[in-house]
Structure 1
Amino acid sequence: MTNSSRQEFKKIRVAGVQAAPVFLDLNGTTEKACELILEAGRKGAELIAFPEAFIPTFPNWYETLAESPKARELDKRLFLESVEMDGEHMKAIAEACAKANINAVVGINERSPMTNGSMHNTQVHITRDGIIAGKHQKYVPTTGERQVHTPGKTGHYNTFRTNFGVVSGLICGENSNMLGMYAAAVNYPVVHVGSWPMYFHPYFHMQHAILTATAGLAYSLKCFVVNAVSRITPEYIDAVAETEEQRVFLEEQRAYLPGASILDPSGNLIIDGTGMDEELLFADINLEDVIIPKLIIDTAGHYNRPELFAPLFQK
């Protein structure tokens, strides 16, 4: 007797991208994403996770540049090079997933066809047979992102089903959003993808935020977490640094050692990136490891009382 919908808790390999996009280059970054997908597939991964708005580049310049003609010119380039969901670039990425037999969560700057002013910060969900299973648009853009990104219109959904189980995903600061985590929890993900940019603002270190937020998320959801992080290139620094102080800050961020990371269902670090060089970070994980922690604390099931909290949403 067989049941194709029955969850199998098997051993799989996952991959987290630690790489820089080809700066504000839709064609170049799409090609790079396809190459990373194919490499991860050749090395046996069943899931690859990409950084926040990887294609064509996350608009990180608002962490150091004030609103100015230079910033707005970068915004225009971002729009011109952004991704349309039904376009040839997403088709190429989906075809690469099918060729590599791998599932993917891909971060893009998304623009709607036939528009000229609005973009979303989006994670695209792609299955190993090359099907675009859905997308999650960031619920609320953070700080400077609001200059270019509009709030998401895809509802609370942030999961999709793969051959090995449910995968969830949240973008940057959303990984500490309790309601976003609950929206994932009710679908019982076995792996979660956190998509992150290149750096945060000068007075708050990104790596601390990543490990603090996603260790808590992994512990709460009782699932593995793959954090994907972009890297800074000299080209990027030349494009966005206006002062020597800004250049020094960006060079320091570029040289900072940790990048991508993979955590277990208790929030413990399995592996993290080794340095400023780009790499695909791999981990072999046993999905059975989610069971015992979930039997103890299931925030979507026996360890919650949603009827007690429902009145909070009626205020």
Structure 2
Amino acid sequence: MINRHVRVAVVQSAPTLFVKQSALDKITSLTREAAGKGARLIVFPEVFLPGYPRGLSFGVRVGSRSHEGRKDWQRYWESSIEVPGPETNILGELAKELEVYLVIGVVERDQEFSSGTLYNSMIYIGPDGTFLGKHRKLVPTGSERLLWGQGDGSTLTVIETPFGNLGGLICWENYMPLARTAMYAQGIDIYIAPTADARDTWQATIRHIACEGRCYVISCNQFTTKATYPTDLAYYGDIREDNDVLSRGGSAIVGPLGEYIVEPLYNKEGILFATLDLDEVTRSRFDFDVVGHYSRPDVFQLVVNDRKQEIVSKMAYSD
């Protein structure tokens, strides 16, 4: 009989910004802690590896960039990872040792066309150590566009697991109704929503998604203080006068009828735990199935381009 229960852990923490090894060390220690308490699905926040550079300007103004800002960005680039690559292999070994699924937000360095582009990505690793897939954020928000390129429809990823279908979108992608619909149409049961948004309004978003998609929603945010920022950054002064707590967190777990399974955690590091009963997803869809009996394909249809977009296409010609 298929086990439709899974114990999950949601990590709310932050590494030392721009220090890859700090993130890897934290992922290792916190994964071990969570697995030791029975978790089999462990989720880390948006771009946990190597951190979310909240408050930094990188010396950018409309129409101009600075040399010092380019050097700060280079540090970010140097702390990014290739997916798959050496770091995902390390994380795969960890997942295999502990027999857990890992979902981790990373800064991904493009390795196909140009090493100069970074992506805000979410990676999935299985309990046998296999790299299962990734999702690249479709639209970086606001000034995030200075840091990350745009993903495409080829990484609207949903992973089949023994306990249900696993996938998700990153931060404000979750405000994109058509992107959500594309995920629902793949039968998503556990919806991962890593974020950098610690405002009260985010909680309304994740509860709505759970109720709309009739799925569990796992929202994961960093708890970040100025102590996690290297003080030798050229633009450290951007945050010097800010409050010590730069992101208060707000990680939470929501059930498929929109109720909290674990309420938001604020103003401290921690790990949230819950045992999810996937039969609750089935029961919740009795009266509302957003892409099933509550859809109207005769009125509304969504077209998703899931092809990988390529800047250069090679064509073979024959004589």
Query: Residues 60-71 of structure 1 correspond to what in structure 2 (within 5 A)?
Result: 60-62=54-56, 66-67=60-61, 69=66, 70-71=68-69
Match of 1:230 in 2: 222
Q: Verify: 1:261 aligned to 2:261, yes or no.
A: no
Match of 1:203 in 2: none
User: Which residue of 9, 19, 23 maps to 1:25?
Assistant: 19
Q: Note if contact 1:13-1:283 (Cα within 8 Å) is conserved in structure 2.
A: yes
Structure with greater helix percent? 1
How has the CA–CA distance of structure 1 residues 312 and 166 changed in structure 2, closer, same or farther, with 3 Å as cutoff? closer
Query: Residues 12-91 of structure 1 correspond to what in structure 2 (within 5 A)?
Result: 12-62=6-56, 66-67=60-61, 69=66, 70-91=68-89
Compare 112-121 and 40-49 and name the one that shifted more: 112-121
Q: Secondary structure at the match of 2:212?
A: helix
Match of 1:97 in 2: 95
Q: Secondary structure at the match of 1:270?
A: strand
Q: Note if contact 1:62-1:145 (Cα within 8 Å) is conserved in structure 2.
A: no
Measure how far apart 1:55 and its partner are.
Answer: 0.6
Q: Which amino acid aligns with 1:290?
A: V
Q: Which amino acid aligns with 1:29?
A: A
The C-alpha deviation readout for 1:90-144, integer Å capped at 9, x for no partner, is 1111111111111121100000237431011101111121111111101111111
Measure how far apart 1:66 and its partner are.
Answer: 4.7
Match of 2:312 in 1: none
Q: Secondary structure at the match of 2:169?
A: strand
Q: Note if contact 1:237-1:250 (Cα within 8 Å) is conserved in structure 2.
A: no
Q: Verify: 1:300 aligned to 2:295, yes or no.
A: no
Q: Note if contact 1:265-1:289 (Cα within 8 Å) is conserved in structure 2.
A: yes
Question: Within 1, Cα distance between the matches of 2:271 and 2:245?
Answer: 22
Match of 1:183 in 2: 182
Q: Note if contact 1:158-1:183 (Cα within 8 Å) is conserved in structure 2.
A: no
Question: Within 1, Cα distance between the matches of 2:27 and 2:122?
Answer: 14
Measure how far apart 1:237 and its partner are.
Answer: 8.0
Measure how far apart 1:35 and its partner are.
Answer: 2.0
User: Which residue of 276, 280, 305 maps to 1:285?
Assistant: 276
Match of 1:170 in 2: 169
How has the CA–CA distance of structure 1 residues 143 and 272 changed in structure 2, closer, same or farther, with 3 Å as cutoff? same
Q: Note if contact 2:16-2:229 (Cα within 8 Å) is conserved in structure 1.
A: no
Measure how far apart 1:26 and its partner are.
Answer: 1.2
Question: Within 2, Cα distance between the matches of 1:63 and 1:231?
Answer: 20
How has the CA–CA distance of structure 1 residues 84 and 100 changed in structure 2, closer, same or farther, with 3 Å as cutoff? same
How has the CA–CA distance of structure 1 residues 285 and 63 changed in structure 2, closer, same or farther, with 3 Å as cutoff? farther
Question: Within 2, Cα distance between the matches of 1:17 and 1:62?
Answer: 24
Question: Within 2, Cα distance between the matches of 1:112 and 1:213?
Answer: 31
Q: Which amino acid aligns with 1:140?
A: V
Match of 1:216 in 2: 208
Match of 2:317 in 1: none
Q: Note if contact 1:158-1:170 (Cα within 8 Å) is conserved in structure 2.
A: no
Identity across matched positions, percent: 28
Compare 150-159 and 15-24 and name the one that shifted more: 150-159
The C-alpha deviation readout for 1:148-204, integer Å capped at 9, x for no partner, is 11110352623111221101111000122111111111122221111112x5xxxxx
Compare 47-56 and 9-18 and name the one that shifted more: 9-18
Structure 2 spans left out of the alignment, 5+ residues = 305-319
Q: Which amino acid aligns with 2:151?
A: G
Match of 1:202 in 2: none
Q: Note if contact 2:136-2:155 (Cα within 8 Å) is conserved in structure 1.
A: no
Q: Secondary structure at the match of 1:58?
A: coil
The C-alpha deviation readout for 1:1-44, integer Å capped at 9, x for no partner, is x7xxxxx4622211111000222111221122122222221211
Q: How many residues get paired?
A: 296
Question: Within 2, Cα distance between the matches of 1:95 and 1:311?
Answer: 39
Question: Within 2, Cα distance between the matches of 1:152 and 1:105?
Answer: 18
Q: Secondary structure at the match of 2:108?
A: strand
Match of 1:145 in 2: 144
Query: Residues 233-244 of structure 1 correspond to what in structure 2 (within 5 A)?
Result: 233=225, 234-236=227-229, 238=231, 239=233, 241-242=236-237
Q: Secondary structure at the match of 1:139?
A: coil
Question: Within 1, Cα distance between the matches of 2:124 and 2:303?
Answer: 32
Q: Which amino acid aligns with 1:235?
A: T
